[in-house]
Structure 1
């Protein structure tokens, strides 16, 4: 049910982007909203379920691109199966990574919608339809590996693809509240998700994260992960997001 996996030496490299004056401003002096949620701005599609297939990377990548579309009132569920079948740099249900997905979309000229290319949780032959493209990637970027940089990115860019350590049973059976487990690694990550905001609950900060394990997992499919707790579960170890080609 996880599936975040990078092939060493084959990774398309995302460009580093500094968001909105990040270079010129001290991190601690930045004025960010106390809370933020892209669902309230129409940039998040409904929760999906990857099933018994390590395709989290495809759902995460699509979520970030869907967010870019939603920002301009064109929210469409994109096809995870399209990436699962066609991105040869990733390993289908055996894992993959979001940079590779963005590279494929950019190179091939776009991606189909979920409606045109539905999900079946099994890798098959590529059936991408170039005549039914609904989104494309102009470029993809990463940020500094800090929680402040991620907060800036989430508020200014849109939903952002991330990866975390999801191997603990406490994570797999998470239901509500802010998730914190001292055994969760801040170095090893194995599951791709989508950071869509952040907030505070009972005086504790959290990241708001969309998962791809259906609505019966977690808080109706979402996770509140402890924020500003030393890169808990490795949330800033892998950060990547696309910019959409807006002519489509």
Structure 2
């Protein structure tokens, strides 16, 4: 099917359908009975060095699909789709002619039974080869940096799409009934209509949180050129047999475990964030710069009995954490930024919790900014790092969200100590956003915690925490269902802490096995949509061990 054969909505039939039930006078998908169901504002013009013109139509299409998926499964963690795959695979030069590609993007998603999310393929801002071997990547650092294709990953499909007539009643009816729609505006911009009131429509633009009003503008019907809607289906785990044959793995389970088994061949070589240095730094910082004594804070909660099961993935029935990220998603290479991802997700998740949980707008602190601008005894950009260096910088100087400094998977020059925001044209030339036009995020307090009960009390009181963890082979295997990851090395090995994750909750099985719920930064195809369960309250190493996850953790409190 070509774009010219897009299924159009016949206006007469459309309006006839409205006769039985008119749309409400006002509707906002950011304020529903299930909370805010609109995905975060992103920024396709924030990538330094990009070589691609205005691709707003592609981004509007994927934003609409992601928003409608959030409506379809309102209790789940939101996702953000890969625009790079579409940029690579759409016919013609999308970099030069991408302005009208809403319909083409939707056609591709429909005909290919979905598109992966951004944790499979990062946006690089230039057209690359369209290939099944360049759709979902796992970039690894050993023995030298290389990116391998993945044979399995999640795809996010649509079953149909249609053009929505540019008439106020038709747009209100579609948005109210089914969710945001992707639109082209007469001024050349693109976005998704996420709300309306009467004849005024609220549009989300992926041009940064500093654009318009936190990334949104108000437009009249006269400003709208064309709009499209899509019927979204649930994501599914896709298996590519041709890629699997190339990797010499013949089953889905083998394909799932293949990249992680390679990764663990060398990932356990300690880098700058080794266990002894990590603990000494955390002790130093806790003595000199901790604003609130953790012992006093925990004492306030000491009378409460801790539940057997608690997770910010299911708080009052809703996931109140930000979308999954990845520092293995290439395609420009590998950056050892687990510490930057973990620090950012802990801050961002707690910011969401403090701002109203499911009702809050997702904001993700820029991991790239941390890689570029934070240096310390345990932190060296893409060479690894630790929150003991990160949180003090965020307290004294601050940081920005990812729409100001977009993820690039390699180090860049630090601009203005990290308090800078940029927009870049299709020739890779960037200009700075004026001070005061973008948000600066700072830390009110931070501290360090270890041990099962102290970790649990901090998590339930204020949100996820950042923890170091060893990486024995057990952590490298993707899991399904009820599996719990434990160190099963025999004889036991003293694994050093070489990786950072966040802990979002805990639980206990019916037979009494205790576990932590962790968020990793290896993509949604790892574990259970990027999350996993790890042994809790046991010895650190050897059979049944918890991989030192309870030995060295940190917390942070955003300054609102």
Q: TM-score range by the shorter chain?
A: 0.7 to 0.9
Structure-2 change in CA distance of 1:24 and 1:205 (3 Å): closer
Q: Deviation per CA, 1:109-164, whole angstroms, max 9, x where unpaired?
A: x2111122111110111133443234210221112x31111111111121100011
- Answer whether contact 1:4 1:57 (CA < 8 A) is retained: no
Structure-2 change in CA distance of 1:92 and 1:10 (3 Å): same
1:13 alignment partner, SS class: helix
Structure-2 change in CA distance of 1:4 and 1:48 (3 Å): farther
Q: How much has 1:185 moved relative to structure 2?
A: 5.6
1:96 alignment partner, SS class: coil
* Ranges in structure 2 where 5+ consecutive residues have no aligned partner: 1-139, 141-266, 329-333, 421-434, 541-545
Q: How much has 1:92 moved relative to structure 2?
A: 0.8
1:115 aligns with 2:387: no
- Answer whether contact 1:4 1:189 (CA < 8 A) is retained: no
Higher helix share: 2
Write out aligned runs for 1:173-192 (5 A).
173-176=477-480, 177-183=483-489, 188-192=496-500
Write out aligned runs for 1:15-94 (5 A).
15=290, 16-18=293-295, 20-22=297-299, 25=302, 31-41=305-315, 42-51=319-328, 52-71=334-353, 72-73=355-356, 74=360, 75-89=362-376, 90-94=379-383
- Answer whether contact 2:298 2:457 (CA < 8 A) is retained: no
In structure 2, what is the equivalent of residue 201 of structure 1? 509
TM-score between both structures, scaled by the size of structure 1: 0.86
Q: Deviation per CA, 1:154-213, whole angstroms, max 9, x where unpaired?
A: 1112110001101x2232123231111233767621100000001123422110000000
Structure-2 change in CA distance of 1:101 and 1:121 (3 Å): same
Structure with the greater alpha carbon radius of gyration: 2
> Residues of 1 paired with 2:374 and 2:326: CA distance?
20
TM-score between both structures, scaled by the size of structure 2: 0.40
One of 136, 139, 163 as aligned partner of 2:442:
136
In structure 2, what is the equivalent of residue 149 of structure 1? 454
> Residues of 1 paired with 2:402 and 2:295: CA distance?
32
In angstroms, what is the RMSD of aligned CA positions? 2.5
- Answer whether contact 1:4 1:192 (CA < 8 A) is retained: no
> Residues of 1 paired with 2:298 and 2:371: CA distance?
36
> Residues of 2 paired with 1:53 and 1:87: CA distance?
14
* Ranges in structure 1 where 5+ consecutive residues have no aligned partner: none
In structure 1, what is the equivalent of residue 468 of structure 2? 163
1:162 alignment partner, SS class: strand
